Structure 1
Amino acid sequence: MTFLRYPSPRYFSQCSRRFSTPIKVAIVGTGPGGFYTAHHLLNKSSADKVIHIDFFEKLPTPFGLSRYGVAPDHPEVKNCEEFLTNLMKHFKLSSSSASASALKQEQRHKVRFLGNVEVGKDLKLANLEKYYNSIVLAYGSTSSDNKLSIPGSNLPGVIPARQFVNWYNGHPDCYKKGEEYIPPALEKIEDVTIIGNGNVAIDVARILLADPKRHWAQTDIAVDAEKLLEQSKVKNVRIVARRGILESAFSNKELRELLELKDAKFLPLSQPELLQVLATKKLDRVAKRRLSLLEKYNNTLETTSNKDKRTWSLEYLQSPVEFLAADNGKLEATKFVKNKAIDDPLLPGQIAPTDEHVVVKNELVILSIGYQGTPIGGFEELGIWFDKNKLHNKGGRVLLKKSAGENDANLTYKKGWYTSGWIKNGPKGAIATTMMDSFDTAENILKDLTNGNYIQVDDGQDILESDELPKEKEIVYWSNWEKLNEYELEKGKELGKQRYKVCNKQDMLNVCKA
């Protein structure tokens, strides 16, 4: 006979406490990585779990990359913001119920937004462990840029795409009073080279090529950017990549959008043989579509109606080796080395430089060669493994830094710590990719909560009732953001725009507390 071994009364006591007391989760960052993780946690948790989430955002505004990275003429992509808005609508903890005692009274999911709070500066990272059972780092990977270490890279006409995107999207970093970002003098520039050919490069090209009044005036583009674009003298934009057509990092949707732009003319490829070679290869559906798009527009005849249009081109198998200055010290041209593709099925996409060079006239170069993640102050203290611009993790579970000689088989998770979004896997992939990846992180959090693998905290403590945050800190709650949101939408309506973005941080705070 088999006897069943029943759990002890102590076990039931522990389980009861575990699931009757709310699980408290801190999410650092309110971009797609953060709010998709929260959505999955709240909607997929079992009925015996109550989850309270605090979002920490260093800006007064939510939505991260969606608000400040998506092109102004792609409002449909920003529809993802409804995920966070709906969470706040259904689970928001009202300001009148912000105390720890109120949190315990009503046993259901709750969400708070704590904007204008920079974790690592305003709030010590390690101190989150006093108040939260689980901590999710979802603060993105767009605060720094990849660099080109070639002669002339410090010339004033060579700028990172990140700064340019932040400027036209109204990011507060570009609109600090007294130290505003100085955009390129587009009213004096005719030739622009964009190095890199991902979706950001295509967005930047569209910003420079499209008619400001017809294309941009109705969007939420920053008003300062719109005004400068109206004065722009840009005539030609070149998008240059070091590898071939199949290795293009942009999506077919972005390519088609630029090809169909009425305000600019696509110039035929300077290397038409690249298309001929691809026509003989076996391609997947995505590659076939890209090839057909390029073939269609590569054969477009010059007409009287498009002779005065701005022009743009795609250049392949070229790598920059030097930025050249004129006698006045300003950028004048860029020198490229021509590459050749290595025809080896075991090394797809590999290239090698040739002895041939080409010099291209340009007064502005925009580097669209990727972003870098940066650590939050306090990683070293906590032993969190961050190096080579990467927050090391496995399935979203943050890993502890390896000791000397330790191999990958002995990696250790940092209990209760997770990561989501671009800081998890690097700045790549569309928002839809981020969503699925964030769901994976959330699923692992839920598994760990079920197994009791989380940080033990004092149930009665609430971070807003502590001395962790500076007393003078102006915290932006969701109700404050709603004031700013309403103001931007109303002013945008007056101007015939989707939204008028308030760009200066202090101006945002003034509207929030009005």
Structure 2
Amino acid sequence: MTTVLSRPLRIGIVGAGPAGIYAADILTKAGSGQLPVSIDLIERLPAPYGLVRYGVAPDHPRIKEIIKALRRVLEHPDIRFLGNVNYGSDLKLDDLRRHYDAIIFSTGAMDDRDLDIPGVDLPGSHGAADFVSWYDGHPDVPRTWPLDARSVAVLGAGNVALDVARVLSKTAAEMLTTEIPPNVHAGLLANRATDVHVFARRGPAQVKFSPLELRELAHSPTVDVVVHPEGFEFDEASLQLAQTDKQVKMVMKTLNAWVGQEPTGKPHRLHLHFLENPVEILGTARVEGLRTERQELVGDGTARGTGEFTEWDVQAVYRAVGYRSSHLADVPFDHRRHVVPNAAGRVQDVDGQQVPGVYVTGWIKRGPIGLIGHTKSDASETISCLLEDVATLTPAERPDPDDVTAHLDGLGVRYTTKQGWDLLDAHEVTLGEAQGRARVKVVARDEMVRISTQP
């Protein structure tokens, strides 16, 4: 244990979302305090919290409550936050090895999974992840969004699909009670959508959205939820799920209450279609429609095509078919599964051999599945492996924490800190107080950095 006998174990965690913060928290508690650690959370954005800040819909403030727990972890004296630092340019893998005894990548999954159907590249065909980043005020996406379609298709049957459909259906005035920045409010004011159609390729018992997400669709005073009876079907496996799975049972209770109900005359309608598989996005110069194939359940919960096709008159399509991670420079990557190959968090090379001192946790490790509870247990597994390896880790050449910041200073990187995040957080809260809101999010990266680094 030569790396920890004379000084704290130096750990660099790349990615300051829930996965990275949970890993840091577990490390500080390792060995009931018998193993001193010094941890840097390295984040490419100026602010921490990852998808909790930039992936949760702004009208879900209860989910954002997790930030309170994450904030408490960042207060730990052995954890340092370094924001606005880009892995691959500001810090490369060799740099990290020089400054840390071990490195954990927790960079998550921010890109849209591919959907291989004709027309997917037409103007008006959007990835849901890009739209979510826009309405969540991500600093690295355009400030405007085209919302000129009156009829919109959302492809997918998960919580992100419902988030996108709900934001497209609600009025800008309803969203103004949230933390959305001014550019998002202005964009939603211009939204012309009156009908939003959500298409699920399997049946109602196989959808992946949560009961809470589903019920929230009906909370808007301006939106009628329409569950179309066509495709509202069950096979033997579906009926068994509805009887034995609590989540499915709650979803079915809500859907059964809505199915077949006529719209009440509200200005917007949110349609749910089941057993409709998107096969082509139609149009020449831009999206002009969507073609789906009716599916049928085959008894085990899976579905097959019937050869019956329907064309839907829509002018925009949002693809909410899942997230995927991106390749990290100098780190092995499985381009089929879009994860870093690993064994319980230990990174493996192309030959299946462990890459010494390099670990992963979160979605970059296991793929974009699971909730916060899964993220915690996932981090525990990775940290357990790291701790087992402590005696074999190669000691960092320059473990002094000041050496990392000196490196960044030498490159002219305007990195942010926990103290800087406190300044930005307070600034956003003050902006919100002036409008009777919890906060108003600052969008521009330069402004975020300026506020975070002011004297």
Measured against aligned partners, the alpha-carbon deviations of 1:309-362 in whole angstroms (never above 9, x if no partner) come to: 311121122222222226xx332211111222222xxxx332222221000011
Any gaps of 5 or more consecutive residues in structure 2? Answer: none
Any gaps of 5 or more consecutive residues in structure 1? Answer: 1-13, 92-109, 175-179, 403-410
Q: What is the TM-score with the length of structure 1 in the denominator?
A: 0.82
The 3-state SS of whatever aligns with 2:80 is strand
Equivalent of 2:349, from 362, 376, 400?
A: 400
Confirm whether residue 421 of structure 1 aligns to residue 362 of structure 2.
yes
Q: Which has the larger radius of gyration?
A: 1
Q: CA deviation at 1:374?
A: 1.0
- Once residues 259 and 465 of structure 1 are traced to their aligned partners in structure 2, the CA distance between those partners, rounded to angstroms, is 50
Q: CA deviation at 1:48?
A: 2.3
Equivalent of 1:324, from 246, 263, 282?
A: 282
Confirm whether residue 512 of structure 1 aligns to residue 425 of structure 2.
no
Confirm whether residue 124 of structure 1 aligns to residue 92 of structure 2.
yes
Change (3 A) 1:447 1:227: same
Aligned residue number for residue 226 of structure 1: 185
Aligned residue number for residue 288 of structure 1: 249
How many positions carry a matched residue from both structures? 450
Measured against aligned partners, the alpha-carbon deviations of 1:38-78 in whole angstroms (never above 9, x if no partner) come to: 11111243332110001111111111111000111222222
The 3-state SS of whatever aligns with 1:497 is coil
Confirm whether residue 173 of structure 1 aligns to residue 112 of structure 2.
no
Aligned residue number for residue 483 of structure 1: 423
Aligned residue number for residue 393 of structure 2: 454
Equivalent of 1:390, from 335, 339, 344?
A: 339
Equivalent of 1:371, from 302, 307, 323?
A: 323
Aligned residue number for residue 312 of structure 2: 360
- Once residues 231 and 105 of structure 2 are traced to their aligned partners in structure 1, the CA distance between those partners, rounded to angstroms, is 46
Change (3 A) 1:430 1:22: same
Confirm whether residue 472 of structure 1 aligns to residue 412 of structure 2.
yes
Q: CA deviation at 1:131?
A: 1.6
Q: Could you tell which deviates more after superposition, 460-469 or 354-363?
A: 460-469
Equivalent of 1:162, from 129, 148, 157?
A: 129
> Does the 8 Å CA contact 2:235/2:301 hold for their aligned counterparts?
no
- Once residues 470 and 369 of structure 1 are traced to their aligned partners in structure 2, the CA distance between those partners, rounded to angstroms, is 42
Change (3 A) 1:315 1:474: same
> Does the 8 Å CA contact 1:19/1:49 hold for their aligned counterparts?
no
Q: CA RMSD in A?
A: 2.2
Confirm whether residue 433 of structure 1 aligns to residue 433 of structure 2.
no
> Does the 8 Å CA contact 2:227/2:273 hold for their aligned counterparts?
no
Aligned residue number for residue 102 of structure 1: none
> Does the 8 Å CA contact 2:17/2:52 hold for their aligned counterparts?
yes
- Once residues 207 and 238 of structure 2 are traced to their aligned partners in structure 1, the CA distance between those partners, rounded to angstroms, is 16
Change (3 A) 1:468 1:338: same
Q: Could you tell which deviates more after superposition, 28-37 or 489-498?
A: 489-498
Equivalent of 1:492, from 411, 425, 432?
A: 432
- Once residues 204 and 320 of structure 2 are traced to their aligned partners in structure 1, the CA distance between those partners, rounded to angstroms, is 17
Change (3 A) 1:258 1:83: same
Q: CA deviation at 1:469?
A: 6.1
- Once residues 80 and 325 of structure 2 are traced to their aligned partners in structure 1, the CA distance between those partners, rounded to angstroms, is 26
Aligned residue number for residue 27 of structure 1: 13
Equivalent residue letter for 1:366: Y
> Does the 8 Å CA contact 1:25/1:52 hold for their aligned counterparts?
yes
Q: CA deviation at 1:146?
A: 1.7
Equivalent residue letter for 1:296: A
Q: CA deviation at 1:471?
A: 2.9
Q: What is the TM-score with the length of structure 2 in the denominator?
A: 0.92
Q: CA deviation at 1:181?
A: 5.0
> Does the 8 Å CA contact 1:40/1:443 hold for their aligned counterparts?
no
Aligned residue number for residue 405 of structure 1: none
Confirm whether residue 49 of structure 1 aligns to residue 35 of structure 2.
yes
Aligned residue number for residue 59 of structure 1: 45
- Once residues 280 and 423 of structure 1 are traced to their aligned partners in structure 2, the CA distance between those partners, rounded to angstroms, is 34
Identity of aligned residues (%): 30
The 3-state SS of whatever aligns with 2:202 is coil
> Does the 8 Å CA contact 2:231/2:274 hold for their aligned counterparts?
no
Aligned residue number for residue 408 of structure 1: none
Q: CA deviation at 1:275?
A: 5.6
Q: CA deviation at 1:299?
A: 5.2
Q: CA deviation at 1:386?
A: 3.6
Aligned residue number for residue 57 of structure 2: 71
Q: CA deviation at 1:234?
A: 1.2
Confirm whether residue 140 of structure 1 aligns to residue 108 of structure 2.
yes
> Does the 8 Å CA contact 2:281/2:291 hold for their aligned counterparts?
yes
The 3-state SS of whatever aligns with 1:150 is coil
The 3-state SS of whatever aligns with 1:438 is helix
Measured against aligned partners, the alpha-carbon deviations of 1:182-231 in whole angstroms (never above 9, x if no partner) come to: 412x2x32101000111001111111122322x31121123211222223
The 3-state SS of whatever aligns with 1:151 is coil
Equivalent residue letter for 1:183: W
Equivalent residue letter for 1:435: K
Change (3 A) 1:29 1:280: closer
Equivalent of 1:183, from 141, 145, 149?
A: 145
- Once residues 237 and 345 of structure 2 are traced to their aligned partners in structure 1, the CA distance between those partners, rounded to angstroms, is 38
- Once residues 405 and 131 of structure 2 are traced to their aligned partners in structure 1, the CA distance between those partners, rounded to angstroms, is 40
> Does the 8 Å CA contact 2:222/2:266 hold for their aligned counterparts?
no
Q: Could you tell which deviates more after superposition, 358-367 or 273-282?
A: 273-282
Aligned residue number for residue 119 of structure 2: 152
Change (3 A) 1:196 1:470: farther
> Does the 8 Å CA contact 1:20/1:50 hold for their aligned counterparts?
no
Aligned residue number for residue 265 of structure 1: 224
Change (3 A) 1:166 1:273: closer
Equivalent residue letter for 1:430: L
Change (3 A) 1:471 1:385: closer
> Does the 8 Å CA contact 2:203/2:234 hold for their aligned counterparts?
no
Aligned residue number for residue 503 of structure 1: 443
- Once residues 279 and 217 of structure 1 are traced to their aligned partners in structure 2, the CA distance between those partners, rounded to angstroms, is 39
Q: CA deviation at 1:436?
A: 2.5
Measured against aligned partners, the alpha-carbon deviations of 1:349-386 in whole angstroms (never above 9, x if no partner) come to: 3222222100001111101011221111122xxxx354
- Once residues 208 and 368 of structure 2 are traced to their aligned partners in structure 1, the CA distance between those partners, rounded to angstroms, is 12
Confirm whether residue 412 of structure 1 aligns to residue 412 of structure 2.
no
- Once residues 464 and 279 of structure 1 are traced to their aligned partners in structure 2, the CA distance between those partners, rounded to angstroms, is 55
Q: CA deviation at 1:20?
A: 4.3
Confirm whether residue 335 of structure 1 aligns to residue 291 of structure 2.
yes
Q: CA deviation at 1:252?
A: 1.5
- Once residues 170 and 186 of structure 2 are traced to their aligned partners in structure 1, the CA distance between those partners, rounded to angstroms, is 13
